[in-house]
Structure 1
Amino acid sequence: MTRVTPILVALVILAGCEPREVIEPVDQSVRPARIFIVRENQATIKHEFVGRIEAAQTVDVSFEVSGPLKALPVLEGQTIAAGKLIAALNPRDYVLSMREAEVQLKLANQDLTRKRKLLTSRGISQSIVDDAQALYELRNLSLSQAREDFADTKLYAPFDAYVARRYTDNHVNIRSGEPVVRLTDLHELFVVTSIPENLFATITAERVMRLYAQFAFLPDERFELTYRENTGEAESVAQTYKVTLVMERPKSWNILPGMTATVHLELNMPRGDGQHVKIPTSALVADENKQFYVWLYDKASQLVESRSVKVGPADGEGITVLTGLKDGDHVVASGASQLQRGMRVRMLGKPSAKL
């Protein structure tokens, strides 16, 4: 025992003198984050409205004379060319009226000719000839009216049209002015929507970035729109203005009046003091006073510092910053609420300007 103990002590002392591997502590202040690059031209506002498709022109076609309907060759949903027969009345009564007017005019002409000869021989007075002349002119007008009524027994398409509706069936007695069919001009379509007064007052042609329509049954298609007109007075209850937009009728899809569309309006921010930019909503942080700020990233030092900002409206892609940022600033876009002043940030991937 007396010999072993000094040896063990010496071994323990030698082991304690050997150098140990030093484990460096992990720097807990370095956090990974995605970095967003601010770009001025991303400051846009998007709005959506419900729109209704209307035809560029809608006409309820009717006869100017009455009578039994003899022919109605058009069908609902049919496209017809300009000048095509739409409907026709039985012309029998109007043919008889026209022939009677022709006979009356012939008799009046004969009477006028005879009385003019008598006037030459001083057999009658001038006033009798004048009466015969007036009667002749009256009969002539009657014949013109009878011919016009006969022509009105047929209806023709005034333009290339789509038959939206038939109001009656064949062989029915039709009164003058009673609608027979509804025709629509579908060369171009109107998209009618309502815009609130507070937004309508700030829209100018320079601010409109894009204007298009989408349909629920065609989610991948976008149809460009152009402005046509708007009402001059706001609707009294909702305080909205009715705006009419024009959409070219697509050849591949059967878009018809009465369908519902979503109108998308993309606007630039209105001009004002400073630049307007857009950032991801995840980059925005609020302090205890509900004031907003972001974390600016310095690429050289990898440090972050807070920057107060004034924000505007948000949409599905991000939030608009009115003041506090400029083009080219690097902003922490993820995990911003976990950062503190003086922290270092390690970029995840490359900085991106995509929202």
Structure 2
Amino acid sequence: MATLMRASANPGRPFECLHLFLLAFWIALVSLLGGCGASSDSPAGAPPPPLVKVAQPLYQEVRTWDDYPGRIEAVQSVDVRARVDGYLEKVNFRAGEQVEKGDLLFLIDPRPFKALLSRAQAELEQARARLALARNNLARAELMFKSKAISEEEFDARSKGLAEAVAAEQSAEAAVYSARLNLEFTEVRAPISGRIGRELITAGNLVKGGGADATLLTFIVSTDPVYVYVDVDERSALKYRRLAGTECQAQAEKGVGACMLADMALADESGYPHHGRIEYESPRLNASTGTLTLRAVFSNPDGLLSPGFFAHLRVPGSALFQAVLLPDRAVATDLAQKFVWVMGTDGKVERRKVTLGALVDGYRVIAEGLKPGEWVVVEGIQKLKPGAAVKPEKTTLPQAGSGQAK
């Protein structure tokens, strides 16, 4: 009993137990860390290979295109002006509507012109009566001259009187024709079919007709088809001429406009949904700008294309050729070098330097460095390094569309 009491009274005993406990805990922790380090070298603990999408390059017939900014213009544009003086009596259209050639647009008060026509017609009847009298007088003069009843001077006077009467009739007929024209001009009709602007003069106003200072009433622009004008540099113009000669031998006599394709997009459109053709090139280079004007024509049945709109025009920059294509996003850059990631048969990727060509419908032409049949990483290239194993998901690239011949 005394011995036990002495042992429990020893103050160093609890600290010795705590020391042993900490030592055992430290040994267990070291063993655990050693086990984790050993397992990090094992394949079972390695991070999984990155998941990427791979595809074989397209091998497709395409052409390159050149893009130019341009403006849409109307094939026909007319300023409608008054041709006779008078008060405007009626406006016979709504601003902005489609009108057809010959439609009545404005009516100028026709009453003064009807009166002038009636007067001219009366004067014509007088001239015709005088002409008939002159013919009768000359016929009687011929008989009398044969019988020596009148002098030669009198006969000549009656002969010249007939000529004067004929001229007077012709003058009266011209006056009637002019009066009838002026009466017709009181009805201002559409000279072309197209979309009409607003009325610049309202009913009740006095308008002036004829000459350079004639009153402008409105304007009309044709809407279908429409033109798009662009300016190209001299080298491009020569390229297009040679290309047209190569592809259109059968129509070479018609020039570049006979066979050159053209696509167009408006300011808010993606892609080039409108299809037309180049049908005119300026016969002379603009020496001050070094450019040549090309004109493309496009159908516009729904009236979407309005004169004055900004447009993107593209024209073929090459003939059709077989090309190796990849999505542009699959091409990476290292300083000045362009490369792609190619997956080998062992499931590992390698960097492949490539030479790039033109961009066609979101696809990049690979001029050198690839051949059909190889598997190339098209998504997930940011995760890769040379020799890395990957987990590939094979996919098929959709065919390029508008880069092909239409």
Q: TM-score range by the shorter chain?
A: 0.7 to 0.9
The change in CA–CA distance for 1:106 and 1:283 in structure 2 (over 3 A counts) is closer
Query: Would you say 1:263 and 2:312 are equivalent positions?
Result: yes
Which residue in 1 is equivalent to 2:355?
Answer: 310
- TM-score of the pair, normalised by structure 2: 0.65
Give the CA deviation at 1:38. Answer: 0.5
Query: Which residue number in structure 2 is paired with residue 297 of structure 1?
Result: 343
Q: 1:69·1:174 contact (CA, 8 Å) conserved in 2?
A: no
8 Å CA contact retained: 1:282, 1:336: no
2:66 touches 2:317 (CA, 8 Å); kept in 1? no
Q: CA deviation at 1:308?
A: 3.6
List per-residue Cα deviations over 1:48-96 (Å, max 9, x = no partner): 5545444343222223333332222223223334433211222233223
Q: 1:192 aligns with which of 228, 240, 245?
A: 228
Q: Does 1:350 align with 2:394?
A: yes
- In the alignment, does 2:274 pair up with 1:224? yes
CA distance in 2 between counterparts of 1:264 and 1:89 reads 44
Residue aligning to 2:296: 244
| Aligned residue among 320, 323, 326 for 1:276 | 323
How many positions carry a matched residue from both structures? Answer: 324
Q: Any idea what SS the aligned residue of 2:120 has?
A: helix
Tell whether the 8 Å contact from 1:165 to 1:183 is kept in structure 2 after alignment: no
2:377 aligned partner: 332
The farther-off stretch of 132-141 and 236-245 is 236-245
- Unaligned stretches of 5+ residues in structure 2: 1-34, 142-149, 248-258, 401-406
**Post-superposition shift, 1:141?**
2.0
CA distances 1:30-51 after superposition (whole Å, capped 9, x unpaired): 6654323100228665665545
**What code does the residue aligned with 2:199 have?**
R
Structure 1 distance, partners of 2:94, 2:375, is 64
Structure 1 alignment gaps of length 5 or more: 1-19
Matches within 5 A, 1:38-187: 38-41=57-60, 45=64, 49-122=68-141, 124-125=155-156, 126-170=159-203, 171-177=205-211, 178=214, 179-186=216-223
- Cα distance in 2, alignment partners of residues 103 and 332 from structure 1: 94
Rounded Cα–Cα distance in structure 2 between residues aligned with 1:329 and 1:191: 45
The DSSP-based 3-state class of the residue aligned with 2:131 is helix
TM-score, L = length of structure 1: 0.73
- Contact 2:226 2:305 survives alignment (8 Å): no
3-state DSSP class of the match of 1:121?
helix
1:244-270 CA-to-partner distances (Å, cap 9, x unmatched) read 33142327xx6643344x536485865
Q: Cα distance, 1:172 vs. partner?
A: 1.9
Q: d(CA) in 1 for partners of 2:68 and 2:348? A: 44
Greater share of strand:
1
Q: Structure 1 vs Structure 2: percent identity of aligned residues?
A: 19
SS in 1 for 2:197: strand
User: What is the deviation of 1:166?
Assistant: 2.3
Residue aligning to 2:54: 35
Displacement of 1:222 in angstroms is 7.1
Distance 1:238 1:35, change over 3 A: farther
Label 1:337 to 1:266 Cα distance change in 2 as closer, same or farther (>3 A): farther
Partner deviation per Cα, 1:310-351 (whole Å, 9 max, x = no partner) = 2124478343222232222222334379432xx253233224
The one-letter code matched in structure 2 to 1:241 is: T
Decide whether aligned partners of structure 1 residues 304 and 270 sit closer, same or farther in structure 2, where only a CA change above 3 A counts. farther
> Cα gap change, 1:276/1:338 in structure 2, threshold over 3 Å: closer, same or farther?
same
Structure showing greater radius of gyration is 2
Deviations 1:192-235 (A, max 9, x none): 2525435555455779898242453xx58974231253441555
